[in-house]
Amino acid sequence: MLFGASLVGLLLFSKLVLKLPWTQVGFSLLLLYLGSGGWRFIRVFIKTIRRDIFGGLVLLKVKGKVRRYLQERRTVPVLFASTVQHHPNKTALIFEGTDTHWTFRQLDDYSSSVANFLQARGLASGDVAALFMENRNEFVGLWLGMAKVGVEAALINTNLRRDALRHCLTTSQARALIFGSEMSPAVCEIHESLDSSLNLFCSGSWDPSTVPTGTEHLDPLLEDAPKHLPSCPDKGFTDKLFYIYTSGTTGLPKAAIVVHSRYYRMAALVYYGFRMRPDDIVYDCLPLYHSAGNIVGVGQCLIHGMTVVIRKKFSASRFWDDCVKYNCTIVQYIGELCRYLLNQPPREAETQHRVRMALGNGLRQSIWTNFSSRFHIPQVAEFYGATECNCSLGNFDSQVGACGFNSRILSFVYPIRLVRVNEDTMELIRGPDGVCIPCRPGQPGQLVGRIIQQDPLRRFDGYLNPGANNKKIAKDVFKKGDQAYLTGDVLVMDELGYLYFRDRTGDTFRWKGENVSTTEVEGTLSRLLDMTDVAVYGVEVPGTEGRAGMAAVASTTDSCDLEHFAQALEKELPLYARPIFLRFLPELHKTGTYKFQKTELRKEGFDPAVVKDPLFYLDARKGRYVPLDQEAYARIQAGEEKL
């Protein structure tokens, strides 16, 4: 701004005082501008103007539709009804496990029977029903049916057990729990501690001896329920649709609120930004209790009329065979899945498919080109976003390694920013005026998004527990008096405005496509080890995505039965949350507020040459912890040890 003011001042001086002709003044100012770095702006302008215009048009299109739907009080079920009307007999969902095909009419009928059944059982708009089920067509029909009568679904992570599962059910205040028969053992484990008024319904294969007492078989009840469209609830575009549980810095899973407008926005930005088509067929092998699988994937079916192929779980060996069988044109991924696919031996199917786009997040720059070239995928549609965030990004032109962009020319159009943080404490760094300091190109910083509650694209809906919102909101970020959402992620921007993911901040790290809460894992490990001090953190392992869990235990190895400990962890924690590495040391250093000091532990990692304390790693083949010596360390570094 100071440079611009100087140019204006020089212009006035040259014309009014020196009385030079306009051509001479203009030419002189142009030379001065270019000589002092202005050529960089012209270079950026030329290289990014097409990208920025396209991104701006996508944003305007989605914003226009959001405003209209807001005025008309549209909801996801209302938008889905329009999709059904356009092509009722087109295939909507295919479940790979049983090769079951549902048309849009069949999905509509099934969800309406769910709605009418729940209504007959006394559930009303604003009530909550929990859904605990592996991927299949019924999963979509169940939460959609709930939404038709205003019942809010709490989508429970199928990896959760015991305390975490009980926590999700109790905090949601669910009046009913619908679970798949495959989840019966997990429900039985906590049944005695659940509220006796909670209605239990089991979907799938039926064996009364394997479910808690009082459980009803849902499937025949839905067959007998009316299939007519129920009366619309008094809900609008910014009202609650469902809850997705995330693992954050507070320990146990938090219920992130997804409103109807957020569901539409996430699905629409991906659809228009990556130039999807109504005749595309999406291969969705991601969990439907997460936003990537249920909103970014299934949302294309409900909102835009695309066919979505649902797989129960990702399979590297069957991935391309499925794509060929169902003529898929778009596949969904998280970064770790891409690595698994590259590790597979070449097969015919990987060259016979019709996939033109890979859609997802977390694909590392180091394998990006290999992935797209080996599997002949023209477009890698990488994006950045979280269920609750208001600053999603999209790499609309397949820039290798980037998770999105923000215009360097018109940055104010999309109010996001990278702000400087203290690398040790991850606290925001502020200037003398108390406002956060923005990062320059090449300088890593935390991604933040300005909160404007009146704007459905910029609002922050937060969590079911309002107290959990405090750590995600900061004040005086862009200017005095404003509020911004803190992503907790460190990114870096290049000169052209492309953004690249660098790292996660706070007490979470990502492993096997899931966020791991160190607070939750520390609590579980400490309890299993007779309340011993335990610090959990993520460490980098060459050739893997995210960070592997490592636990530093303030105890001796003699006092811990590692074989029994590994068995106990299988019951207490999901696979992705179990620490891969263990370090036993005399004591853990703490801060003045009794927080573990993990910076040095992270730096030392799991190298036996650096760490003199006893080290162990979880041998995936043996299912137990074994000593980590220099030879084992070398195998892990070379990618020869399965983690």
Assess contact for 504 and 386: CB atoms under 8 A.
no
pLDDT band at 412; cut points 50, 70, 90: confident
Element (H, E) at 319: helix 319-325
Q: What is the mean pLDDT of the chain?
A: 89
CA angle 236, 238, 243 (to 5 degrees): 110
pLDDT band at 7; cut points 50, 70, 90: low
pLDDT of residue 371: 94
Q: Which residues contact 31 (CB under 8 A, 6 or more apart)?
A: none
Q: Are strands 615-619 and 624-627 parallel, antiparallel or unpaired?
A: antiparallel
Report the distance separating Cα 505 and Cα 488, nearest Å: 5
CA angle 439, 445, 450 (to 5 degrees): 80
pLDDT for 453-478, tens place per residue?
998 889 999 999 888 898 899 999 99
Judged against a pLDDT cut of 80, whether residue 103 lies above it is answered with yes
Mean pLDDT of 184-194: 95
Report the distance separating Cα 22 and Cα 39, nearest Å: 22
Exposed, middle or buried: residue 5 (CB in 10 Å: 0-12, 13-18, 19+)? exposed
SS3 (DSSP) at 353: coil
pLDDT of residue 248: 42
pLDDT of residue 250: 45
pLDDT for 251-304, tens place per residue?
688 999 999 999 999 999 999 999 999 999 999 999 999 999 999 999 999 999
Report the distance separating Cα 99 and Cα 305, nearest Å: 20
Mean pLDDT of 580-589: 90
pLDDT for 436-457, tens place per residue?
999 999 998 999 999 999 988 8
pLDDT of residue 5: 55
Nearest-CA neighbor of 521 among 556, 562, 569? 569
Handedness of CA 158, 164, 168, 170 (dihedral sign): positive
Number of Cβ within a 10 Å radius of residue 418: 25
Report the distance separating Cα 18 and Cα 39, nearest Å: 27
Judged against a pLDDT cut of 90, whether residue 600 lies above it is answered with no
Mean pLDDT of 549-567: 86
pLDDT band at 26; cut points 50, 70, 90: low
- Which residue shows structure tokens 């159009």? 413
pLDDT for 333-366, tens place per residue?
987 788 889 889 999 999 999 999 999 998 888 7
Tokens of 425: 């404490």
pLDDT of residue 30: 63
Report the distance separating Cα 178 and Cα 217, nearest Å: 10
Mean pLDDT of 35-55: 82
pLDDT of residue 591: 47
Q: In what order do the strands lie in the sheet with 615-619?
A: 534-539, 548-554, 581-585, 615-619, 624-627
- Looking at the whole model, is its pTM more than 0.85? no
Lowest mean per-residue pLDDT among 128-132, 392-396, 629-633: 629-633
274 or 34, higher pLDDT: 274
pLDDT of residue 261: 96
Chain Cα centroid distance, residue 386: 4
pLDDT of residue 27: 62
pLDDT of residue 521: 86
Tokens of 509: 């790290």
SS3 (DSSP) at 435: coil
411 or 332, higher pLDDT: 332
Assess contact for 237 and 74: CB atoms under 8 A.
yes
pLDDT of residue 247: 59
Assess contact for 581 and 606: CB atoms under 8 A.
yes
Backbone angles phi, psi at 628, to 5 degrees: -105, 100
pLDDT of residue 363: 87
pLDDT band at 593; cut points 50, 70, 90: very low
pLDDT of residue 38: 65
Judged against a pLDDT cut of 70, whether residue 110 lies above it is answered with yes
- Which residue shows structure tokens 């609309």? 396
Handedness of CA 195, 201, 205, 206 (dihedral sign): positive
601 or 335, higher pLDDT: 601
Mean pLDDT of 230-235: 92
Q: Ranked by mean pLDDT, which of 1-5, 16-20, 133-137, 245-249 comes out on top?
A: 133-137
Report the distance separating Cα 570 and Cα 580, nearest Å: 13
Q: Ranked by mean pLDDT, which of 226-235, 332-341, 564-573, 586-595 comes out on top?
A: 226-235
Report the distance separating Cα 626 and Cα 279, nearest Å: 51
Inter-CA distances, 470 with 257, 321, 426, 463, 595, Å: 15, 46, 16, 10, 19
